[in-house]
Structure 1
């Protein structure tokens, strides 16, 4: 089960317990005999219809939120994951990225889960992720702003339009557009049902007394936290708060307290996502917990001031003699604005304090020795003491290339092994490996550059130029692996496409022969093995024959439909990647053979400046 499916599983499972939770909270806050007496006194209330509307509306709201997120992730999921991985160069960019992505998918829980997953896979550190999870809190306030606008009258129209698009669309992305529109409509329709269900409570005194109790901020924070932890959606909590405010049940301070509780409750999702993940992922989730709790604590004494600020920017006339009608008119917008102010100011306060948060989580979850071995690949033979002695330094580079080839060979085998059953978790880990291999190449290249500053003989100069060319070709190999294989599998997972029979056949003998060619090419360099170089060139007819067989198999099974065309494109992408890898292997082999053929052109001892 993917992390996203895991999250949605909890949404659906906890809906079963939601009725028990809210009902028990209501009972715990109001004595049973008061409910009993008033139920007899006010027989006009249809409790069954009210509860059915309330909880049915909540279920539709959560289902609509799920469909909306699902559609958005199909439409822009890969781009958002790339943004998360790349736009975290500093804490400010990380915060903007987290806020932007959460504003789009309207779920800080999903952003937090994705971020924890990236940290677990090694695609970012806890320090980079800290800004993202802080920014996610600000991004999720967009949901409250949308909900506060009274556009729910178009809910059923959006449901109908979304359904028609899904029903008629053929392309996956067009279906996703329909899912998004229909999900948004269901979200608003669910809110309408909840509002209609709660409307009769406007004249029910025990409920109004209960709402007056919510003026106690500790009470409101506790209810908001528990409710959000169970439904795992702060958006759902805020939506219910705004629906209640729209009916005149909540004052602004009470709504702010419930929203603060929702901020704390949403951290439970991130903590759940760390189960079975790395210690660095746990640190990321703990940073999220710290930030949200600290934000609530610093604002707790200033809820009246926050309420006044929200009123000022909401452009409403707020009278001293508050009436239920006035509360219903003004308070939803003010709660949404207070929620945005609360999260924005907290972000600005705590963003510069990320090092403090990191220090705390490193004390809570110390770095263990095993974690230190999971970092970058470290050169084993590049000794700075011999960098000015080219003969020794060039030999050290050859030894390092042998070690590099072992790492690249293992990476190639893992990538090929994933073609049959690609998954986001595995692909994320290997995305990290590509970055580590590139960093490893850069370290070798940097060392080789320092070697080039020394005076060298003609043979050493040729060896030096050969090694520089080899490193350039190795970078091209990584690019071919990433562009034609890794990216292909990312797209397959995103579009839920299973590998075809042709693709699985390619995983057999052809990928094995290409792997041997890559290994022999590198052996020709670091072992100066001409037989290995000749083997790379000699295997070309075999590889060409296997590729022709694969293409013939494609033509034989070709069907002119959209799904088959997409699979055909991925098959061709894979074939092109394997052809590129063999071509690059031949270039390496020929570099060695060219060096051998011209080895007598410059006599030993001749110095090239």
Structure 2
């Protein structure tokens, strides 16, 4: 038998079924357990060791260390995890991913047709969502092993290919093995699937364990590609998490290439079992477990190394509560002044971002885009941090005046956060204008500038009144009139815009964006006046 076109098509079809089955099974497991796994990751990652154990658990459940790492990157973006906690999870995830090779090593492909039948029946006829998820897992499991069986059968023809036989019997070069592994995993985009391909070759007696060890080193390095792709547009900590994943696997390769070359490591594996598929699985498990146990004590050092790849920026140090001491949550009276300072800080960040975005809008300048987005992340972080602290305070007994003040801060913080969102909207609309080389008319620019200046004045007056917790009836009337003035300016500008369209002085596309900009400016005025009203309501409960 020679390796003809039929064998190649069977190989590709088997590989496709194998990859699809693995992905489909993992999706089913994630759908059934994903939300619970996410909740666990939020609450049980206080130390690197706990994160390590949890990373293994989550990856066993969803069958993908890359998916677990991407999930971790999301938690880093949200400020739920820090890098030390994330490192423990990533190390655990790398070990948890070996469960797939264990399942393949059991070689239960004879059950694949039965699993496909049961899984398909559950998907088609079960009504409950849980049963459908279970059916998806069983169906994916069956397709995986059916694909493995097809792929392995197609690879049997390689035995009769002299060039391949010559290569595989003499292959001992670690560099070649590592490069083959990197390429294989980079193409397949899954270390578990790439090891599965090795096991399929081993089943046909075409993968000596000594060379397989080098390929496994390369496969694990190649598995860093998906996290890196996910981190391209992510925040810096998420990029560092991708680097940590890469560091883990590179150090593992640097450990295991010499171990394979200079110790009887592969001989020991052959002594443990004569089954080639199991040998590949044991080699993969040894790589992951030994590397994890070696690196876990050096979590802090790995984190520091990740900062060499992605240096810290000055604004990153701002992502913390500067004035709130969470230990004072049990003493609401002592915490009030700290809350006021943090709210003042948040309002200052939101104001500066609004100014940057609006000035950029008027000048068609997006040079501040990165800073605006970074500061918007800080606004979101402060919103969550202050709100969480307020929730803790509300669980304590509080004097009535403090209770009223705290309840109003909830709303004020929300209004400030929304102002930050509208500032980001202004930036995004400006970026679209610049990308498409659109222009506002001089009259439109003048109208936008007038509304922006009125908004900024209203915001400054409102924040000042709230921080003082003092708003007279006369000042409230002035701010209300100013907010009404913003609304009138917006309506007038909209009417003027329609008139310009009729006179063909303005094109449709920039006109649509102009309407969205007006809406953002109008909403900023609304949120600013909401803050002022909180000062009015709080007058009787004045804190300072």
| TM superposition score normalised by structure 2 | 0.65
Corresponding residue of 1:436: 385
Taking the TM superposition and a 5 Å limit, the aligned residue runs for 1:371-410 are: 371-373=316-318, 375-379=319-323, 396=337, 399-400=340-341, 403=344
Determine which of 106, 112, 125 is the counterpart of 1:168.
125
Query: CA shift at 1:282, angstroms?
Result: 1.1
Corresponding residue of 2:22: 65
- CA contact under 8 A between 1:57 and 1:192: conserved in structure 2? yes
- CA contact under 8 A between 2:469 and 2:538: conserved in structure 1? no
- CA contact under 8 A between 1:148 and 1:333: conserved in structure 2? yes
Q: Deviations over 1:160-219 (max 9, x none)?
A: 111111111334333222211111111110000011111233343322112124332222
Q: Residues 80 and 200 from structure 1, CA distance in 2 versus in 1: closer, same or farther, beyond 3 angstroms?
A: same
Q: Does 1:95 align with 2:15?
A: no
Determine which of 180, 184, 189 is the counterpart of 1:227.
184
Taking the TM superposition and a 5 Å limit, the aligned residue runs for 1:120-159 are: 120-159=77-116
Structure 2: state its 5+ residue gaps.
352-376, 415-461, 474-533
Q: Residues 529 and 405 from structure 1, CA distance in 2 versus in 1: closer, same or farther, beyond 3 angstroms?
A: farther
Corresponding residue of 1:191: 148
In structure 2, how many angstroms separate the alpha carbons of the residues matched to 1:529 and 1:187? 68
Q: Residues 114 and 399 from structure 1, CA distance in 2 versus in 1: closer, same or farther, beyond 3 angstroms?
A: closer
Secondary structure of residue in 1 paired with 2:311: coil
Q: Deviations over 1:375-405 (max 9, x none)?
A: 12433999x9xxxxx9xx8994684486499
In structure 2, how many angstroms separate the alpha carbons of the residues matched to 1:429 and 1:70? 33
* 259-268 or 215-224, which deviates more: 215-224
Q: Deviations over 1:483-524 (max 9, x none)?
A: xxxxxxxxxxxxxxxxxxxxxxxxxxxxxxxxxxxxx9xx99
Q: Deviations over 1:397-444 (max 9, x none)?
A: 68448649969x99xxxxxxxxxxxxxxxxx9999666412465499x
Q: Residues 593 and 181 from structure 1, CA distance in 2 versus in 1: closer, same or farther, beyond 3 angstroms?
A: same
Corresponding residue of 1:417: none
Query: CA shift at 1:119, angstroms?
Result: 1.8
Corresponding residue of 2:281: 336
| TM superposition score normalised by structure 1 | 0.58
- CA contact under 8 A between 1:246 and 1:331: conserved in structure 2? yes
Q: Does 1:352 align with 2:286?
A: no
Q: Deviations over 1:225-260 (max 9, x none)?
A: 111011111111111111111111111112222211
Q: Does 1:527 align with 2:469?
A: yes
Secondary structure of residue in 2 paired with 1:59: helix
RMSD over aligned CA atoms reads 4.2
In structure 1, how many angstroms separate the alpha carbons of the residues matched to 2:346 and 2:378? 19
In structure 1, how many angstroms separate the alpha carbons of the residues matched to 2:282 and 2:77? 35
Determine which of 302, 305, 310 is the counterpart of 2:269.
310
Q: Residues 526 and 466 from structure 1, CA distance in 2 versus in 1: closer, same or farther, beyond 3 angstroms?
A: farther
What count of residue pairs does the alignment treat as equivalent? 404
Determine which of 307, 330, 351 is the counterpart of 1:362.
307
In structure 2, how many angstroms separate the alpha carbons of the residues matched to 1:135 and 1:229? 22
- CA contact under 8 A between 1:155 and 1:189: conserved in structure 2? yes
Taking the TM superposition and a 5 Å limit, the aligned residue runs for 1:462-473 are: 465-466=399-400, 468-470=402-404
Query: CA shift at 1:279, angstroms?
Result: 1.4
Determine which of 49, 67, 85 is the counterpart of 1:110.
67
Query: CA shift at 1:348, angstroms?
Result: 0.8
Taking the TM superposition and a 5 Å limit, the aligned residue runs for 1:29-48 are: 44-45=1-2, 47-48=4-5
- CA contact under 8 A between 2:28 and 2:133: conserved in structure 1? yes
Q: Deviations over 1:540-584 (max 9, x none)?
A: xxxxxxxxxxxxxxxxxxxxxxxxxxxxxxxxxxxxxxxxxxxxx
Query: CA shift at 1:138, angstroms?
Result: 0.4
Structure 1: state its 5+ residue gaps.
1-43, 317-328, 385-389, 411-427, 450-461, 481-519, 532-587, 597-609
Taking the TM superposition and a 5 Å limit, the aligned residue runs for 1:190-589 are: 190-303=147-260, 304-311=263-270, 314=272, 316=273, 330-373=275-318, 375-379=319-323, 396=337, 399-400=340-341, 403=344, 435-438=384-387, 440-441=389-390, 465-466=399-400, 468-470=402-404, 527=469
- CA contact under 8 A between 2:56 and 2:95: conserved in structure 1? yes
